[in-house]
Amino acid sequence: MSSLIELENVSRQFGTQQVLRDITLSVETGKTLVLIGESGCGKSVTMKLMMNLLPPSSGTVLWDGRPVKDRTEKEIVRERLRFGYLFQGAALFDSLTVFENVAFGLRQNRRLHPKQISQTVHERLRDVGLDPAIVVDKKPAELSGGMRKRVGLARALAMDPEVMLYDEPTTGLDPIMSDVINELILRTRERCNVTSIVVTHDMNTVQKVADRVVMFYPLARLNPEDPQIIFDGAAEEAFESLDPRVSQFVRGEAGERLQELAIG
């Protein structure tokens, strides 16, 4: 199996706080990997490491089996365009209109006719369930949170990436729209064999899109010798897992962690 993105013994710390420890993970081409784990366990950081938006403190990130750090700056910039990233907070450019946001990557990297750009932008906006006529001239500040998220998704998809990284694609969306987005993730994958990495807290998304589920555990509550990846397998296995840390998480039960409430 070829893998587009691999992490080899990757660790990352911010100052004295260690967030990821010795993570080894490879993403198979054309498959959908779902990352779950509680808030603050380092899922977003992992995605940024995969895309080389952040360097690892130690360990190696590989694209197509070749370490990223062996590449020149130029190669990295070019190859990064194969990835699309939906940021957790959408990260829309707030000085630009919705249209310019979605067109940004195309304008920056492809020599296209304005008509082609406009057509792609409108298509992508419709894909994510937004009416282009209404939103294109708006500034991000004039949109609702869920709309911003979908514009962010349209912006990432506009570049027709080979790999899509979705950071919480359905958070802040209503149940119907969440399902639309889940369907979009599936369709994007089928259309051109896109490899997807999805970070989510939404178990519907897990059930619907995941080929493989990986669960991280926060280092702060882990013994120094235990691996940080506490589950790696198919979605059904996660729901049947005997490890209480996994089964309680996917079922949304607090279990003995309710006791933490008593502290306050």
Ligand X SMILES: Nc1ncnc2c1ncn2[C@@H]1O[C@H](COP(=O)(O)OP(=O)(O)OP(=O)(O)O)[C@@H](O)[C@H]1O
The candidate with the shortest Cα–Cα distance to 84, out of 127, 145, 114, is 127
The candidate with the shortest Cα–Cα distance to 179, out of 151, 212, 205, is 205
Asked if 5 and 62 touch (Cβ cutoff 8 Å), the reply is yes
| d(C-alpha 216, C-alpha 23), whole Å | 10
> Under the criterion CB under 5 A, does residue 170 sit at the interface with Mg ion?
no
Chain position carrying tokens 């702060």:
220
| d(C-alpha 127, C-alpha 114), whole Å | 20
Residue nearer to ligand X on the CB measure, 19 or 165: 19
* Per-residue tokens: 41: 């366990």
40 binds, among ligand X, Mg ion, another protein, none (CB under 5 to 8 A by kind): ligand X
Judged by CB under 5 A, the residue of 11, 44, 228, 241 near Mg ion is 44
Size of the site for another protein (CB under 8 A): 25
Asked if 138 and 58 touch (Cβ cutoff 8 Å), the reply is no
> Under the criterion CB under 8 A, does residue 220 sit at the interface with another protein?
no
> Under the criterion CB under 6 A, does residue 42 sit at the interface with ligand X?
yes
∠ Cα 163 211 243 (to 5°) = 125
Q: Which stretch binds ligand X (CB under 6 A): 42-50, 150-158, 183-191, 221-229?
A: 42-50
Least distance in angstroms from the C-beta of 87 to Mg ion:
9
95 binds, among another protein, ligand X, Mg ion, none (CB under 5 to 8 A by kind): another protein
Q: Which stretch binds Mg ion (CB under 5 A): 44-52, 102-110, 122-130, 228-236?
A: 44-52
> Under the criterion CB under 8 A, does residue 94 sit at the interface with another protein?
yes
Query: Tell me, what amino acid is at 204?
Result: N
| d(C-alpha 91, C-alpha 88), whole Å | 8
173 binds, among ligand X, Mg ion, another protein, none (CB under 5 to 8 A by kind): none
Q: Give the contact letters, 44-63, x = binds to ligand X (CB under 6 A), - = no.
A: xx------------------
> Under the criterion CB under 8 A, does residue 14 sit at the interface with another protein?
no
Least distance in angstroms from the C-beta of 182 to ligand X:
18
Least distance in angstroms from the C-beta of 74 to ligand X:
25
CA 258 → CA 22, 37, 108, 175, 255, distances in Å?
Answer: 30, 17, 50, 27, 6
- Cross-strand partners of 85: 165
Backbone angles phi, psi at 48, to 5 degrees: -70, -35
Chain position carrying tokens 């397998």:
233
Q: Which stretch binds Mg ion (CB under 5 A): 29-37, 86-94, 99-107, 240-248?
A: 86-94
Instruction: Restricting to residues 33-52, name those near another protein by CB under 8 A.
Output: 48, 51
| d(C-alpha 240, C-alpha 259), whole Å | 25
User: Which residues would be at the binding site for ligand X (CB under 6 A)?
Assistant: 14, 19, 39-45, 88
User: Which residues would be at the binding site for another protein (CB under 8 A)?
Assistant: 48, 51, 53, 77-78, 80-81, 83-85, 87-89, 91-95, 104-105, 108-109, 155-156, 159
